[in-house]
Each structure stands twice: as C-alpha cells, then as structure tokens.
C-alpha cells in the first residue's frame, strides 16, 4: 500500500514552524507595504477600498500577521500605482516568505498544532485530508480549544492564544486567489470533543464554509470503501510542502518526492469522497442525529420501541403513500429520513400539524385534546389491544409499571377491542380510499404557519 512507503521517520526534512526567519520576512514585507502606502498618502481604509479587499486584510499584512496571496498583493500594487520595479520588489519579498524554512523550535508553552496554521498562511493552494480531527482551517473556536487542551503540558493562557491565532488565520478561506480542498472521512463528523451541542455548532460552520467559492469540502461516507487505509492526517501547501500530523506533533516535509507521494495519496481519497449536494445532505443527516442526541431526555429515549401490529400496518401504508407522493413531486421532492412529511418531502410545520389535528378531532366529532394528551390515548389503546403492560411501559417510556397501569390506562370494553382489531385489518389492506384521504390531509399541512 502506498501509505506504508510515504514518509520514513529518518527522511523527514527540517521542521517549518513559528520560526524567526519566516516571521521576520513577513514583517519586512509588511513594513515595505506600509511605507509605500504612506508615500501614496493613503490611509489603510482608503487602500483597502481601492484594492477591493477588507481593511483587516491590509492591517494584518502590514503588521506581519498575514501572508497575502498573489492576487491580493497584485490588487494592493495596482491600488498604490506602483511601477514595475516597486511591484517586483514586493513580489520578491512574498516569494522569500514562501520559501523560508525556519530552524527555530516553537516558543515554550505554545500548544502543539500551530505548525499547520503557519504553513497554510502563505499557501495559495491548500489540500487537507483528515481521518480523526477536523482540519485546522475549518474548526470552530470551541472545537479548537479542545484540540489544544488535549496537547501535553498545555496551559490555559497558551491555549487561549493558540485558539485566537487559529481563528484569525482562518480568514485566508475568504481571500480571492486562494483555493482550499478538504477531504474527511465520515468518522471525523461523528467523533467530537465535549458535548453534542459543540458539534452542532461545528456542523453549522462546515455547512457555511462549504458554500464558499474558494472552498471544496468532501466527505468519504461510511458506505464507501476507502482506497487506502488512512494512518494519519496531512495537509499539502501548494506543491512545496506537506504538513504531516501525528500524535507526537506536526512536521513539514519539503522533499519533492515525499510531497508528490502525498499528492497522489490525496487524489485517491478525493476520488472516493462526495461533494456538493451529496455532502450537504450527509452533513444535515449527521446534524439531525446529533440534534436528537442533544435533546433526548434520557438514555432510554434512544431505545428501540416495540411496535404493535396496528402500528406496523399504519407505517407500511404510510410508506406506500410517501413513495407515491415522491413520484408525483418529481424533481421538487426533497430527500430526507423523515417518515411524515409534506407532499414535497419537507418537514411538516408544527403549527400546521396542530391545526390539522384540531380539524381531525372536529370531523370525527370527538372532544379536542392537546397533541401531548394522545399519550394517554395511546396507553388506553395498547391495553385494548392486549399489549402486555411491560411492553406498554417501554412504549410510553414510563419508569414504573404502576404508573403505566394506574395513571394512563383504563379497562376497555369488548366493543373497543373489536373496533381496534377491525382498524388494524383495514390498515393492513391499505384501502385506496384511506390512502387518498391521507394524501389530501397531508397536503393541508403543506402551507406556511399562520402568524
């Protein structure tokens, strides 16, 4: 397998990190641009407006905190009306930054994980594959905090600085002239630090970033075989370097053969990933699952429920109705894992559902009750269907059998039992009339909720 021969430990090149040489060259470029702006008699805001870039970008470049892309630097040169000689000078300074190899080690107390941040800052093309942790450029602040806190010997002060630096450097995602491609395994989306709420916010960020024109986000779904067994994550910076990420730290290899090998490996993983609409649907599915996990009252809320035959018959009928609705909707149908939807596959608005429930009560000539009170009705129906009390307790999520029997149920009559069995038989036959009626009632819930 290719991965087994990629990067022997002994052939790793010098580490690129937070070295003084690279930082010094960034400061030199920033100072030169600041002097040229002063000579032109422009403020930072005026230069940003002329160049069509954000004012924070100008400030960060001039203070040596950001490496501009070639496109951004070209815009600044044109806005400053630089001649060929001056423009060539600042472009040479940018080349010097990108070719700098720092030999200094990272400052004491700085958490591991900032090597990749520093490496991608000067790259115009970033390609990252991850099989455990989200790429640094995509992490939310809280997610990044957990990443840095897991590093050995981390301190709260150092973690805070590292998180702030990581979030600041993510601004490169929005700069014109840069391209970022990220490929993840689905396991990355389903492995999270902290609480489900943290990952919900992180998934929202992924959905937002995926829509950027400068970003391509791909995920290898669980149902697809991986072309190679992933051993670790890595990030390619242009065609010059690759950041190799391991538990012991991060290193940047600049040997052309190693970089080429990782590029080939990345292409394999990219070929197995889904992008665009498919990846958005996958992210939404994971998000729905996390949302359910975050809102479930107890662990028992995740348990599998036993279903009486009458419920199974109703669900089978619903499945046929939904398939028919999907065929009628055609391209207007929205795919989801929901059982009860509108005629276009979208979720039913809660207030629309409540209004339809009230209308059904009125048409049936029964007393109107709250939707929540149907829990009591369910308990009585389970008793009428001769469902064992223990099974009824599981369905109703009651903690004690006495609650199930004494609070939620009453002894049904023989007529009620016979009626319910007839209902089950009718559902099992799946009569056309019932299907047409349910279809019409489902359409009644498609509208928007009233204000």
Q: What is the 3-state secondary structure (H, E, C) of 191-247?
A: CCCCCHHHHHHHHHHHHHHHCCCCEEEEEECCCCCCCCCCCCCEEEECCCEEEEEEC
- Quick: pLDDT tens for 225-275: 899 888 899 999 888 888 888 766 677 787 888 889 999 999 999 999 999
**What pLDDT does 414 receive?**
67
Per-residue pLDDT of 393-406, as tens digits, reads 777 766 666 666 65
CB 302 within 8 A of CB 296: yes
pLDDT at 376 over 80: no
Question: Which pLDDT band holds residue 441 (cuts at 50, 70, 90)?
Answer: very low
Given a cut of 70, whether residue 409 has pLDDT beyond it is: no
pLDDT at 15 over 60: no
- Give whichever of 89-98, 189-198, 219-228 has the largest mean pLDDT: 219-228
Confidence of residue 294 (pLDDT cuts 50, 70, 90): low
The most distant pair of C-alpha atoms in the chain lies apart, rounded to whole Å, by 99
pLDDT at 337: 77
Written as six digits, the tokens of 27 are 């400061």
Average pLDDT across the chain, whole number: 78
State the CB neighbour count (10 A cutoff) for residue 319: 12
Q: Is 151 helix (H, G, I), strand (E, B) or coil?
A: coil
Q: Which of 263, 243, 265, 246 is nearest to 254 (CA)?
A: 243
> pLDDT tens digits for 166-181?
888 888 888 888 899 9
* Out of 121-130, 349-358, 403-412, least confident range: 403-412
pLDDT of residue 415: 62
Does residue 188 carry a pLDDT above 80?
yes
Query: What is the phi/psi pair of residue 215, to 5°?
Result: -130, 140
* Among candidate residues 436, 435, 387, 431, the one with its CA nearest the CA of residue 412: 387
Closest CA relative to residue 128, chosen from 137, 139, 140: 137
Say yes or no to pLDDT of 118 above 70: no
pTM reported for the whole predicted model: 0.52
């Amino acid at each position: 397998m290719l991965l087994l021969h990629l990067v022997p430990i002994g052939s790793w090149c010098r580490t690129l990190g937070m070295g003084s040489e690279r930082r010094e060259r960034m400061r030199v470029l920033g100072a030169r641009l600041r002097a040229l702006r002063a000579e032109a008699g422009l403020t930072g805001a005026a230069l940003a407006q002329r160049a069509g870039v954000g004012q924070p970008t100008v400030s960060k470049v001039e203070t040596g905190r950001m490496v501009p892309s070639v496109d951004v630097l070209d815009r600044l040169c044109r806005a400053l009306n630089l001649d060929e000689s001056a423009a060539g000078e600042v472009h040479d300074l940018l080349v010097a930054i990108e070719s700098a190899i720092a030999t200094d080690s990272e400052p004491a107390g700085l958490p591991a994980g900032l090597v990749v941040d520093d490496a991608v800052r000067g790259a115009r093309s970033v390609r990252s594959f991850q099989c455990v942790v989200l790429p640094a450029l995509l992490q939310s602040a809280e997610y990044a905090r957990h990443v840095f806190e897991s590093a050995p010997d981390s301190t709260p002060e150092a973690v805070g600085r590292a998180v702030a630096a990581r979030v600041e450097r993510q601004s490169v995602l929005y700069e014109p002239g840069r391209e970022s491609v990220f490929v993840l395994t689905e396991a990355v989306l389903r492995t999270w630090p902290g609480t489900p709420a943290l990952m919900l916010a992180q998934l929202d960020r992924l959905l937002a970033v995926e829509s950027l024109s400068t970003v391509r986000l791909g995920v290898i779904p669980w149902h697809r075989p991986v072309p190679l067994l992933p051993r670790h994550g890595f990030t390619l910076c242009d065609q010059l370097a690759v950041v190799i990420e391991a538990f012991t730290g991060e290193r940047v290899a600049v040997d052309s053969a190693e970089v080429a090998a990782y590029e080939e490996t990345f292409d394999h993983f990219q070929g197995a990933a889904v992008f665009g609409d498919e990846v958005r649907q996958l992210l939404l599915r994971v998000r729905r699952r996390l949302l359910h996990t975050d809102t479930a009252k107890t662990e028992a809320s995740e348990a599998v429920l036993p279903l009486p035959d009458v419920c199974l018959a109703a669900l089978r009928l619903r499945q046929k109705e939904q398939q028919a609705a999907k065929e009628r909707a055609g391209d207007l149908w929205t795919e989801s894992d929901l059982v009860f939807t509108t005629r276009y596959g979208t979720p039913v608005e809660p207030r629309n559902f409540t209004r339809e429930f009230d209308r059904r009560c009125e048409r049936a000539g029964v007393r109107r009750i709250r939707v929540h009170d149907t829990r009591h009705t369910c308990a009585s129906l389970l008793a009428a269907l001769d469902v064992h009390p223990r099974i009824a307790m599981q369905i109703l999520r009651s903690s004690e059998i006495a609650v199930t029997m004494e609070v939620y149920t009453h002894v049904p009559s023989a007529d009620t039992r016979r009626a319910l069995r007839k209902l089950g038989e009718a559902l099992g036959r799946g009569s056309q009339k019932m299907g047409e009626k349910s279809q019409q009632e489902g359409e009644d819930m498609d509208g928007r909720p009233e204000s």
